[in-house]
Amino acid sequence: MKQLTTPRMDQCIGCQSCALACARLVHKRISWQTSGIRIHSSGGLSTGFIANRCLACDPAPCTAVCPTGAFTNRRGGGVIVKANVCIQCGNCIAACPVDAICRDRVGNVYVCIHCGQCVEFCPQNCLEMVEVNGVAEVLP
């Protein structure tokens, strides 16, 4: 079982290709926001970039507050999402300690499912899929 990691974010150039890829390939959206990974600067473009994404908590606090079972714990950390049973209550967003879950204007929620499709769209090799037990430390 692998999870998405962002070990080389200091190489990020802010092209947002990863976010666009996740939205396009995973969530079937054209977006830089409704995706499992979202890139933003840490206080202006002169300060480098941060990737907002699921850190694969195990167990994940977002699953504990989900009233419908739309979010359940994924083996090894992170969540399995059943969008068809989500009632868009937003509890998961409030429960996530690292702001990894976003919602669109009609309330649909988006979170990384650790599929790794974004990795090949990073031109700077910032992202990497790593076996769960091989993750040495969590890097933002």
Q: Which residues bind other proteins (CB under 8 A)?
A: 13-17, 20, 23-25, 28-34, 38-41, 43-46, 48, 104-105, 121, 123-124
Residue closer to other proteins, measured from CB, 72 or 124? 124
| Smallest separation, CB 33 to other proteins (Å) | 5
Tokens of residue 47, six digits:
């300060």
Is 41 or 68 the residue whose CB approaches other proteins more closely?
41
d(CA 136, CA 140): 13
In terms of CB distance, is 75 or 105 closer to other proteins?
Answer: 105
CB 61 within 8 A of CB 73: no
Nearer to other proteins, 30 or 136 (CB): 30
Question: Hey, what amino acid is at 113?
Answer: I
Pair 40, 47: CB distance under 8 Å? no
Distance in angstroms (rounded) separating the CA atoms of residues 135 and 109:
26
- For residue 48, the minimal CB distance to other proteins (Å) is 8
In whole angstroms, the minimum distance from the beta carbon of 62 to other proteins comes to 21
Shortest spacing between CB 66 and other proteins, in angstroms: 23
107: left (phi over 0), alpha (psi -120 to 50) or beta: left
